[in-house]
Amino acid sequence: MMRFDNIIIGMALSLILCGVTIGAERFPPPDFVETDHVIPSPTVPGPRQDIYEYIDAVVLLAALGLSSYLVLRRRSRRAIFVLMVFSLLYFGFWRKGCVCSVGAVQNIVLSIFDRDYTVPITVAVFFLLPLVFALFFGRVFCAAVCPLGAIQDLVLLRPISVPNWLESGLRLFAYVYLAAAVLFAATGSAFVICRYDPFVAFFRLSGNLNILIIGACLLVISVFIGRPYCRFICPYGVLLRQLSRLSKWRVTITPDECIQCRLCEDSCPFGAIKKPTTDWPTTEYSRSKKRLAILILLLPVLMFLCGWASSGLKTVTSRMHATVRLAERIYLEDTGKVEGTTDASLAFRATGKEQKELYADASNIRAEFKLGGWFFGGFVGLVIGLKLIAVSVWRKRTDYEAGRAGCLACGRCFQYCPKEHERLKKIKEARAKY
């Protein structure tokens, strides 16, 4: 038996003598003389064919169209529910949660900021279609197409209502999340929406354990609080909310005229039904006027403060980018502030690149975060300010109606309206005649 150490030493010696670089062909591939052995080639199983990606886009279009029809014309919770289950099975469990509209936000943002980054057509379709549909028909995507919404809606068994102030306050998180996702995507640091997608691990039945636990917690919460991810976290929901405010057609609780019977009042598990208001209380008027004036003046101050704060956090936020992390590590190692090396620092040193280059890259990225921080903070400040202004403005409403922004078009309220029953009865009678 040969001593192995000798072999290693021998080989190392021969390496040094020949002066070959690591990973090069140290041993020439053999010519087989005694046997006619054929050198095999590695297998290359292909990815999913493009045609299936297009099928996904077509299914999305069909599901959105059907959802709009079911919500606005058919007005049937049962049919919406069936479509929702289909979407959960198809986009969730079959397609394993990727590609999804929520995550597509980041691809679009990165494609705007990175000239070399290109977007596959499916991703562009997944981003744009639900927004266009929201502009025409409201949040029909949330109703029955989004698998993330569907999985929460299925477990909603004991809904309890969330007070308005808490709902509005928690929703702020979604705006911050959107802004953060845009910041990190624009700088090419990370796709945080995908990284912290709480339900994708369920669709795949495997994944990061921490995320799986967060997802399980959210699902438990969903039993009592309707669709917490959609209402308080979903960054794409923020876009849909705003576009759905302007939508041409939207969910109406009653098919014709509200008779103020109050039967639908508690039917919405998402707190999206707006109740009729009384007239503007005249005693409050002057006080509200002053408050509104102060808030409007405060708005730019708030934006500036938030922008300044988050821009100042650039050293922390920029650590989301791998290059900045690497540069910091290399700097610490070179100045002897830390012992040892990491895989990343070793890999960097193996490339033989100059430290200067790396530091320059890192400081460029940090500068991007400084500028991005202003936009991030400015946006968050704007949202906080507008939220405060919104609560101090009196809105006049005479009927019970589905909130333009908050309504997820799930169709639960239809059955509560006596006018709806009248309509269904008429349809039944008309059918019986034929």
Site for another protein in 7-36 (CB under 8 A): 7-8, 11, 21-30, 32-35
Q: How far apart are the first and last CA of the chain?
A: 95
**How many other CB atoms sit within 10 Å of the CB of residue 155?**
16
Residues 48-77, interacting with another protein (CB under 8 A): 48, 50, 53
Report in angstroms how near the CB of residue 290 gets to another protein at its nearest: 24
Q: Token match 């290109």: residue?
A: 118
Q: From its phi and psi, is residue 14 left (phi > 0), alpha (psi between -120 and 50) or beta?
A: alpha
- Kindly state whether residue 332 participates in binding another protein, applying the rule CB under 8 A: no
The length of the chain in residues reads 434
- Kindly state whether residue 163 participates in binding another protein, applying the rule CB under 8 A: no
Q: Tokens representing 318?
A: 């920029």
Residues 258-317, interacting with another protein (CB under 8 A): none
- Kindly state whether residue 39 participates in binding another protein, applying the rule CB under 8 A: yes
Report in angstroms how near the CB of residue 53 gets to another protein at its nearest: 6
Instruction: Tell me the CA distances in angstroms from 300 to 141, 210, 387, one per residue in order.
Output: 34, 39, 14
Q: Tokens representing 186?
A: 């624009």
Q: Tokens representing 223?
A: 């039993």
Nearest to 79 by CA among 409, 421, 432: 409
What residues contact residue 38 under an 8 Å CB cut-off, 6+ apart? Answer: none
What residues contact residue 388 under an 8 Å CB cut-off, 6+ apart? Answer: 295, 298
Nearer to another protein, 93 or 224 (CB): 93
Could you say which of 6, 17, 19, 44 contacts another protein (CB under 8 A)?
Answer: 44
How many residues touch another protein under the rule CB under 8 A: the total is 78
Which runs of E-coded beta strand occur in 52-101? none
Residues 97-156, interacting with another protein (CB under 8 A): 98-100, 103-104, 106-108, 111-112, 117-122, 124, 128, 131-132, 135
- Kindly state whether residue 191 participates in binding another protein, applying the rule CB under 8 A: yes
User: Considering only 84-92, 93-101, 267-275, 416-424, which stretch makes contact with another protein by CB under 8 A?
Assistant: 93-101
Nearer to another protein, 254 or 311 (CB): 254
User: Considering only 74-82, 158-166, 346-354, 424-432, which stretch makes contact with another protein by CB under 8 A?
Assistant: 346-354
Q: Tokens representing 150?
A: 């569907």
| Interaction mask 375-414, another protein, x per CB under 8 A | ----------------------------------------
